[in-house]
């Protein structure tokens, strides 16, 4: 079983969210957490006062951490807007450039999921911005219909990593499907967390993956949580990477894994 690390970039700066209601919801939620002590009041206030500071994304720090750990990841970047993903194409270009600086892999964070035409347009836009033609995808909010995979394949994507579950990756004729094995929001709450029990849950999933003979174990972590505003999230991700390294697992990426599956039939 090899490890694939991945990140979805949902947000970049607070200024994207002036009109989409996201900032307001964030403030109300964190005020509630603070008042009900679901997170320490000081931390809740720090989260709220991070808004005028501007940044949401922590991608640079996250990729620097991974580089230091000697691992790499695939970063899914949006080129269309929807469901709280509100950054511009100029920002998408900036994110792509940052990922390229680290020489990590890129994929599309898709908004379209039920229209072949829209799925194709997004891919073309991403090709223009990134200069890449061999591209994989994961949809925002993991949206799927019964037609999504066939549309992705027709649009020329080489893999999808939108579905989840402790199941092996599969492939057919140049298109692979990598289920997400573990995702931050499945095990962690934005309020209070018991890190010990979350680590246990994580170890259980890894063991289950070994029992189910998974070829690839896919981790999905949102970069904005790699922040002191989310100490549990940050500590959990650093621990997962350290643990998997310590246990001697080999790390790979979706593109290499897809090649590997094609070769092995």
Residues that bind Zn ion (CB under 5 A): 8, 10, 140
Residue 109: CB minimum distance to Zn ion, A: 6
Min. distance of Cβ 140 from Zn ion in angstroms?
Answer: 4
Give whichever of 31 and 144 is closer to Zn ion, judged by the CB atom.
144
- Nearest to Zn ion of 109, 171 (CB atom): 109
User: Measured from the CB of residue 141, what is the shortest distance to Zn ion in angstroms?
Assistant: 6
Nearer to Zn ion, 181 or 220 (CB): 220
> In the complex, what is the shortest distance from the CB of residue 181 to Zn ion, in angstroms, rounded to a whole number?
17
> CB 86 → Zn ion: shortest distance, Å?
12
In this structure, what token pair is assigned to residue 187?
């095990």
Considering all CA atoms of the chain, what is the largest pairwise distance in Å, rounded to the nearest integer? Answer: 56
Question: Which single residue brings its beta carbon nearest to Zn ion?
Answer: 140
DSSP string of 152-176?
HHHHT-SEE---BSS---EEETTEE
Q: Which residues, in sequence order, are bridge partners of residue 216?
A: 2
Identify any residues that bridge with 110 across adjacent strands, giving them in sequence order: 139
For Zn ion, the closer CB: 6 or 171: 6
CA distance 10 to 140: 8
**Nearer Cβ to Zn ion (34/110):** 110
Distance CA 34, CA 173 (A): 51
> What single-letter DSSP state applies at residue 52?
T
Beta bridge partners of 82: 85
Q: Is the dihedral of CA 46, 49, 50, 51 positive or negative?
A: positive
Minimum gap (Å) between residue 81 Cβ and Zn ion: 12
Element (H or E) spanning 2, and its range? strand 2-9
Judged by CB, which is closer to Zn ion: 2, or 226? 226
Q: Are 171 and 187 in contact (CB under 8 A)?
A: no
């Amino acid at each position: 079983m090899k490890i694939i690390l991945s990140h979805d970039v949902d947000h970049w700066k607070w200024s994207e969210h002036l009109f989409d209601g996201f900032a307001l919801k964030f403030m109300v939620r964190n005020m509630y957490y603070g008042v009900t002590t679901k997170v320490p009041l000081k931390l809740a206030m720090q989260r709220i006062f991070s808004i005028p500071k501007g940044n949401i994304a922590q991608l640079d720090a996250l990729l620097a951490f991974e580089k230091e750990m000697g691992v790499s990841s695939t970063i899914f970047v949006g080129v269309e807007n929807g469901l709280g993903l509100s950054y511009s194409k100029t920002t998408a270009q900036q994110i792509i450039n940052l990922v390229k600086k680290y020489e990590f892999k890129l994929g599309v964070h898709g908004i379209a999921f039920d229209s072949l035409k829209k799925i194709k347009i997004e891919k073309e836009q991403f090709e223009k911005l990134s200069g890449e033609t061999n591209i994989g995808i994961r949809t925002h909010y993991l949206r799927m219909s019964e037609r999504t995979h066939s549309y992705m394949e027709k649009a020329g994507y080489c893999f999808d990593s939108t579905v989840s579950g402790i199941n092996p990756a599969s492939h057919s004729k140049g298109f692979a499907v990598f289920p997400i094995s573990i995702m931050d929001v499945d095990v962690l709450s934005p309020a209070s967390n018991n890190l010990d029990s979350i680590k246990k849950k994580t170890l259980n999933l890894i063991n289950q993956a070994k029992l189910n003979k998974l070829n690839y174990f896919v981790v999905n972590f949102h970069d904005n949580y790699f922040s002191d505003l989310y100490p549990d999230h940050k500590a959990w991700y650093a621990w997962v990477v350290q643990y998997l390294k310590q246990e001697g697992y080999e790390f790979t990426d979706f593109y290499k894994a897809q090649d590997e599956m094609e070769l092995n039939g």
